[in-house]
Amino acid sequence: MNPRVILAAAIIPLGLIIAAVPQNTTKPYKLTAGQLLEEVNSRTQFLAPELIADMLVSKDPSIRLIDVRPQDEFEKFSLPGAVNIPFSDILSDEWTDILHQDIKMNVFYSNGSVTANEAWMITRQLGYENNYVLEGGLNYWFDNILNPQAPTSTSPSEEFARYDFRKSASMALGGGGVVPADGSSAPAPALPAIIPRVAKKKVAGGC
């Protein structure tokens, strides 16, 4: 892809966000545009939905989901245990202790990836770490985790393994992936171990 297009895609949304923030509430940024672009290009901020599903099913205490949609959307549906920090409030001092810490792995999500990624860009330019983005957002989550589609008979074995994982995750997380033949409820199954764990990443740049 043309480097200028990549630069525009990364910097223009952030510039518009900064311009919209009143001067007296704008915090000093610690990363340059070039440093932020380098991190955006690395895409290390994105975490696979399958990984997040695995962590939720196993009740991993290191994860904290942050829903950046408006409160009314959050109240209609949210991922298990999520905290609602609307994107419009991302610079509020009320949330600094949550967004700027080294204990939890914060994962931003929205309906897609755009708004969540913009929230991540702001926190990274402030020098915050341990913040990530749910790749694909809720749209992907509904289509592939809660309601996975069976692969075709000619699909490679990896696709069947991924489908089995998603079915199990769907059942454990209240989706429609598995329904017992007798219609009864069933305990959450152990997920097939096809999604590798990722260590918390230290990202370059900032304080």
Q: Which strands form 83-84's sheet, in the order they lie side by side?
A: 46-47, 131-134, 105-109, 63-67, 83-84
Tell me what pLDDT residue 1 has.
53
What is the distance in angstroms between the CA of the first residue and the CA of the last residue of the chain?
30
Q: What is the secondary structure of 83-127 as a DSSP string?
A: EE--GGGTT-GGGHHHHS-SSSEEEEE-SSSHHHHHHHHHHHHTT
Ranges 65-69, 148-152, 193-197: which has the least confidence: 193-197
Residue 173 confidence class, pLDDT cut points 50, 70, 90 = confident
CATH node for 3-140:
3.40.250.10
Cα–Cα separations (whole angstroms), residue 117 to 15, 39, 153, 168: 14, 12, 36, 28
Alpha-carbon gap, residue 181 to 200, rounded angstroms? 40
Tokens 């932020």, located at residue: 36
In this prediction the pTM is: 0.73
Looking at residue 24, what DSSP letter applies? G
In the chain, domain spans: 3-140
Tens of pLDDT, residue by residue over 97-139, are: 999 999 999 999 999 999 999 999 999 999 999 999 999 999 9
Element (DSSP H or E) covering residue 131: strand 131-134
Nearest to 145 by CA among 154, 153, 136: 136
Q: Which residues sit opposite 107 in a β-bridge?
A: 65, 132
The tokens for 85 are 């920090």
Between residues 156 and 32, the one the model is more confident about? 156
The tokens for 98 are 């949550």
DSSP 3-state of 67:
strand
